[in-house]
Amino acid sequence: MEILADFTVIFAAAAIMLLIMDRFGHPSLPGYIIAGIVAGTLISSTDLLNLAQIGIAFLVFIFGLKYNPKNLKSTASAAINTSLIQMLVTGGLAYLLATALGFDSNNSFYFAMAAALSSSLVGLQLTEREIHTNLLHGRLVESLHFVQDMVAFALIAVVLATTVESALLALAYSALIIVGAVLFRDHVFGFIAEQAGGNQELITMASLSLLIGFIGLSEFLGASMVVGAFAAGIAASKFPYNVELLDTMGSIKDFFSAIFFVILGALLSFPSQTVLASAIGLTLITVIVGPLTAYLSLKMFNYDNRTALLTGLSIDQVSELALVITIQGFVLGFITDVTFEAIILAATATMVLSSYTKKYEEEIYNVIGSERGSRTSYETEDHVIVVGYDIQGKKIVEALLEEETEFIVIDNDPEKISELNQKGFKAVYGDVMDEITWDEANHENAALIISTVPSFKISGRILGIESPKDKIVRAEDPKEGLELLEKGALHVMVPDIAASEKMVDDLYALTNNPVKKEEMRRKSLLEFRKYLNL
């Protein structure tokens, strides 16, 4: 009954604060934190610590479900190098700061660990749309957090051990559990799902059974609960069954996310001067030094300003896995009250600040990241500018080659630009939000712009360019598509209505027949309005 009372307090406080935050246009995360501060006066600290670890374990399971090695492969090298550089810089700086504040080596290490690791829960949740639409910085964010989580799992195994032998054994068991999960996904889970005959309830129950089983196995072997939860997610991440599972468990994920953030707020206490000074130092390192280091590292690996900056901004918070290590270290008496309270306070502050940096990322980019200067532009005329060289972009390029139509491709992935250059195609590496990129693509003398990027911001930016007049963009849903058409798009590609394959068939007419263009625009408007009315 006590846990039901705790949940009642948590969700009553959260519901009230969410209504207030929504009313004034603020992100929901600060509302959860404030609700937690209120709830913390009514719930015991022991219950809070237990609930926090259970919530994190389930959220880590969801992250494991999303694991897709194909998505991570293209950005693995940059993610590994950038993560290592960022963790060494921020962790080293935090260690020096903690030592200067009078912490011993053990407490300084926990302090450094909190600065080095960023939150997958917050970072991936805030960039969920970019990851879903397979944007480059979304893939980089996912890869960076995956690398850091692997480091965190290793630290969980090692830091909480009492001897070198037990640390090595726990590390070996953790690695064995994750490798076993990968093998289970590749060779067993697909068979289980097939035997379920597509029954979603059976597949969901099998996945939850895996969660319980892997957590039990990790506890039996002396590994952390979160390692078992992540392994269970990987074991059930077989495509396409994981997509259905993620859809089914969306509401459960929201449930545990709310619990985690409210409990984080509830763990806060009125800080002493030492705690406050330590938390401020840790917050500044996490929010400023971490993103800046990642930004400069990605620039070093030839990523454009926008991709590098938006990716860097996604790691400006303390990791939930760092909190797991901190909570367990505190319970076992490895760290002092000051270290524990400072890390909790910094984690809360950075997670709240992260929700605002995401909300205002475009403004931040315009102030500190926008490229200036000039580059040599192509002298091609009456050409087609293709934005995005992904699967759809490649189909469009093939159609343009067949029609012998001049084109220039814009992309912010250096590997794709290299591929285009090797084929002898004209390509511009840059950010479509910057005027300099469009100048290099000679947009003023172009006949048509076709964007395959499913971003409303990018589509809006393209429609705001004065010339050329004709623009074809892409939207994720019909409502956005209709809005883009009303803003002046010639045509909008939406998977449910007007896919790129259909548009490719009309490319010749689009570039040669003005009557066909107007006819196509009217038809698109009618199709979208009819779809939305239905």
Give the pLDDT confidence score for residue 294 in this predicted structure. 93
pLDDT in the model for residue 239: 73
Q: Cα–Cα distance between 286 and 119 in angstroms, integer?
A: 11
Integer distance in angstroms from the first to the last C-alpha of the chain? 47
Residues 6+ apart with CB under 8 A from 46: none
Assign a CATH topology to domain 384-533.
Answer: Rossmann fold (3.40.50)
Say if residues 59 and 320 touch (Cβ distance below 8 Å). Answer: yes
| pLDDT at residue number 95 | 95
Residue 495 phi, psi (nearest 5):
-50, -40
Whole-angstrom Cα distance, residue 162 to residue 166? 7
Q: Start-end ranges of CATH 1.20.1530.20 in the chain? A: 2-364
The CATH code that applies to domain 2-364 is 1.20.1530.20
Beta strands in 31-171 (DSSP E): none
At how many degrees (to 10) do helices 45-65 and 225-235 cross?
30
Q: How far is CA 440 from the centre of its chain?
A: 30
DSSP state at residue 445: G
Which token pair is 162?
């009492």
Listed in order, the ranges of the chain carrying CATH 3.40.50.720 are 384-533
Residue 88: per-residue pLDDT: 95
Report the pLDDT value the prediction gives residue 93, as an integer from 0 to 100: 96
The β-bridge partners of 532 are none
Q: Per the structure block, which two tokens stand in for 332? A: 């076992």
Helices (H) and strands (E) in the chain, counts: 29, 6
Angle at 160 (CA atoms; ends 157, 164), nearest 5 degrees: 75
**Closest-CA residue to 327 (of 110, 123, 122):** 110
The pLDDT assigned to 70 comes to 67
Characterize 42-68 residue by residue with b for buried, 16 or more Cβ atoms within 10 angstroms of its Cβ, and e for exposed. ebeeeebbbbbbbbbbbbbbbbbbbbe
- For tokens 């009618």, what's the residue? 526
pLDDT in tens, the chain (534 residues): 466 676 677 777 777 887 887 777 777 777 777 887 777 677 666 666 677 777 777 878 888 887 766 666 777 888 899 999 999 999 999 999 999 999 999 999 999 999 999 988 777 777 777 776 667 778 888 889 888 988 888 888 777 677 778 778 888 888 898 888 889 888 888 888 777 776 777 888 888 888 888 888 888 887 778 888 888 888 888 777 777 777 777 667 777 777 777 777 777 788 889 999 999 999 999 999 999 999 999 988 888 888 888 889 888 999 888 888 888 888 888 899 999 999 999 988 998 888 888 888 878 877 776 665 556 678 888 899 999 888 888 888 888 888 888 999 998 887 788 888 888 899 988 888 888 889 888 888 898 999 988 888 888 889 989 888 888 888 887 888 888 888 888 888 886 555 555 555 566 555 555 556 666 666 666 666 666 665
Alpha-helical regions (H) of 24-75: 28-39, 45-65, 69-73
pLDDT for residue 503: 59
Please choose, from the candidates 494, 83, 41, the residue with its C-alpha nearest in 3D space to the C-alpha of residue 291: 83
Which ranges in 423-513 belong to alpha helices (H)?
Answer: 435-440, 456-463, 478-486, 500-505, 507-512
CA-CA distance, 233 to 228, in Å (whole number)?
A: 9
